[in-house]
Amino acid sequence: MLKIWSMKQKQQQDEAAATGGAKKKKVTAAQLRVQKDLSELSLGSTMKTNFPNPDDILNFTLTIEPDEGMYKGGRFIFDFKINQNFPHDPPKVKCTQKIYHPNIDLEGNVCLNILREDWKPVLNLNAVIVGLQFLFLEPNASDPLNKDAAEDLKANREGFKRNVRLSLGGGNVGKQTFDRVLK
């Protein structure tokens, strides 16, 4: 605890010196934790983060561009919203495109157990990002948000693959038109 306090004190002194002694906003526990998680991220070449407001690290996007699997060649952007109760509450994560996936519904909600019932404060943002990446490698038909895509995957894997390719190009699957996400 002493080490964290002295680090926080040092950070405040540095900020005061940088702003000529002007008071800066207090850094919250959630911001400190997110800062730590972000500093420990190990993003591969297929992923990148973007901070629309550099002063707000609690709201950012993650772009995933799978280089293997059924979703290869797509570009998927996820919106991360982290509340002040993080890490006790999981981040809210939503896909910004309409995609054909058993674990992502048509509104962009993501079905990932660690974002819901299996979230624990010891988990970090890297665990969430690895989980999202895994959804593109191994879609899970047994815990679906998009029941049509899940049934398609269970009943006919090759047909599902065709529908994924069609949807990635902005085509129609059933009565749904999907966003073109191919790079």
Catalytic residues: 111
Neighbouring residues of 151: CB distance < 8 A, sequence distance ≥ 6: 141
DSSP reduced 3-state for 38:
helix
C-alpha 32/C-alpha 107 separation (Å) is: 31
How far is the CA of 49 from the CAs of 109, 129, 158, 176, 183, in angstroms? 19, 11, 32, 29, 17
Pairing of strands 76-81, 92-95: antiparallel
How far is the CA of 60 from the CAs of 1, 20, 94, in angstroms? 29, 29, 11
